Amino acid sequence: MDKARVLFLCTGNSARSQMAEAFLKRYAPQAFEAHSAGLEPAGIHPLTVKVMEEEGIDMGGHRSKGVNEYMGKMLFGYLITVCGHADANCPAVFPGVGKRMHWEIDDPATFTGTEDERMREFRRVRDQIRDRVLAWLREQGIEPVP
């Protein structure tokens, strides 16, 4: 069986789309090939790496990528935007995309506060993304890998 490719898209590819890609790779490697990109890649946020390590996910192989790295070069079953800016600014026609979806998720990288407060915000967003990925998999009739 061929795996469907999924592209998670946000503005900077520094937190939300990276987390979504990592969770999909963890929970459904048999069904999906996960990728992520940003409209304006900004590098992976250090707190993204920290909170994902808490989940046992090593982000060492991840890098921040621009949408042009994929646009028109790969076929995707799904394009999922995870922020309003990406949803509004992603080209209306994205060659090779089967279904476009939008999940509105807050950007933890823009949150200001103490280190502890910022970590709490990154954890909150991480958990929201994990839960959304798991729910989406179940909607697709796919039981997530434990």
- Would you state the torsion angle of the CA atoms of residues 74, 75, 77, 79, taken in this order, to the nearest 10 degrees? 50
Cα dist from 89 to 94, 104, 109, 115, 120, whole Å: 11, 14, 19, 31, 29
- Is residue 9 part of the annotated active site? The answer reads no
- Is residue 48 part of the annotated active site? The answer reads no
Q: Which of 6, 10, 97, 133 is catalytic?
A: 10
Tokens of 113: 């506060």
Of 27, 24, 46, the closest CA to residue 122 belongs to 46
The rounded Cα 89 to chain-centroid distance in angstroms is 17
CB 105 within 8 A of CB 81: no
Q: Which of 83, 97, 109, 133 is catalytic?
A: 83
Q: Which of 15, 82, 90, 125 is catalytic?
A: 90
- Is residue 83 part of the annotated active site? The answer reads yes
Q: Which amino acid is at 106?
A: D
Q: Which are the catalytic amino acids?
A: 10, 83, 90
